[in-house]
Chains A and B, each alone.
Chain A
């Protein structure tokens, strides 16, 4: 059984691309392969920048990934320290990012003292700290309650405006995709492959309200759902317990 088959994804620098697809379509696997965390059992993965070199990346994981044994500052500086960046430069970057993600005053808090939403801000800041070519986000808001999720989406829109990173973002949620994306990539399952790419035309800088009250929102939502429906149905009819 192929998990992913001939997936070819081109992302323009500075674009926010969102992968949506049914559970088990391999979106997370694709993301992890781009990150170099998973390797295909057969075939190969190539991630290249325009100049042919591999892009640097940083992943924001779903759920627990902020180290409980480091306080907020050290969590954010984790990647920088590993790269051997000196203390002063590290402190400057951390100071800037703490402001960027809205965690001012929580410098020395332990993760267990923060809410789930605040911990995800730490994870985002930690990924941004190493200034990667691509920011890879694997359902980063999946474990949050709906309202916190909206807040973090707005927050992320703001952060993106300020940093203009190239982002590949994985989600189940169609409206999360429409809120955040420049382009939505619909993936199908068994084997995982790219079915459709849908540009999202909402102007930036965006707000969630503007996106949702935009006349094109409903039509786009339906278009994405149209592309997904058969895949979701097909994946639901398969017996449980299959490979992820």
Chain B
């Protein structure tokens, strides 16, 4: 959001100074009000859903055995935390997501840049990339288990694989969308291909790379929960949700679901923060 602070430097008259001060104050309070409104609205959405849910469950309008009131989930969460190592499950899932994410995204960015910059590489990899991109990645879990065993490696691999093409294709699109004139400028100043890469292709593709990463985060979450469903008793939030469902511990299941949701939200916020640091020049990121 770009806004300008009203400034006036020429006038020395006290009245004008007062006006200016008032103007600045008005501007400042408009901004503060906007910020408060943002926070309130952000909270209002989820809160409204929880309230309706609570009311429906308590009034008996919905079956509270399967739709337990949100407040009744709090003791369940506390118990899970104390007795069943809820924190451990969160940590396991988080490490799988972050590890798989790094493992997939870093080479994907490199390959995506190469695909964007060189048409032979692009033409060579495009059919494979589009085919695998369209495949539901969870269906590849058996193959990952054959290749990497039933331990952590196959879980990292499935997350990495599921986001790889998404990030690669977005990165490629980002490079291809860079205005030709930017490359012309670099060439006109005698930039080597390598210098052009660092000075133009990489920074120019960054916004698209982050679009890819944001989508990938969602995919990683989906795939890891699905994978944990299918890998019984190896921990993680997916395991918690699935095991709770199996023994009809509905409250525990909901705790798991809500934590997965909150985790996704927090990870997206973290990524936004990283983006703001890496792309300070993006309009609207100040």
B283 interface contact, C-beta 8 A: yes
**Contact of B281 (CB < 8 Å), options: A35, A58, A65, A112:** A112
CB of B181 within 8 A of CB of A63, answer yes
Residues of chain A with a CB closer than 8 A to B2's CB = 113
Total A-B contacts with CB atoms under 8 angstroms apart? 56
Residues of chain B with a CB closer than 8 A to A112's CB = 281, 283
B52 interface contact, C-beta 8 A: no
Q: Which residue of A lies closest to B192 (CB)?
A: A82
- Shortest A106–chain B CB gap in Å is 14
Interface size on B, residues (CB 8 A): 22
CB of B189 within 8 A of CB of A83, answer yes
B184 interface contact, C-beta 8 A: yes
**Contact of B181 (CB < 8 Å), options: A35, A61, A113:** A61
Interface size on A, residues (CB 8 A): 25
B187 interface contact, C-beta 8 A: yes
A197 interface contact, C-beta 8 A: no
**Contact of A78 (CB < 8 Å), options: B187, B199, B279:** B199
A110–B2 CA distance with the chains assembled, in angstroms: 11
A199 interface contact, C-beta 8 A: no
Chain A interface main SS type? loop
Residues of chain B with a CB closer than 8 A to A67's CB = 182, 185, 199-200, 203
Residues of chain B with a CB closer than 8 A to A35's CB = 188
B51 interface contact, C-beta 8 A: no
Interface residues as binary, A34-72 with B (CB distance below 8 Å gives 1, 0 otherwise): 011100000000000000000001110101110111110
B window 106-149: CB within 8 A of A = none
**Contact of A79 (CB < 8 Å), options: B189, B200, B204, B280:** B189
Q: Which residues of B contact A (CB under 8 A)?
A: 2, 179, 181-182, 184-191, 195, 199-200, 203-204, 206, 279-281, 283
Q: Which residues of A contact B (CB under 8 A)?
A: 35-37, 57-59, 61, 63-65, 67-71, 78-79, 82-83, 110-113, 126, 130
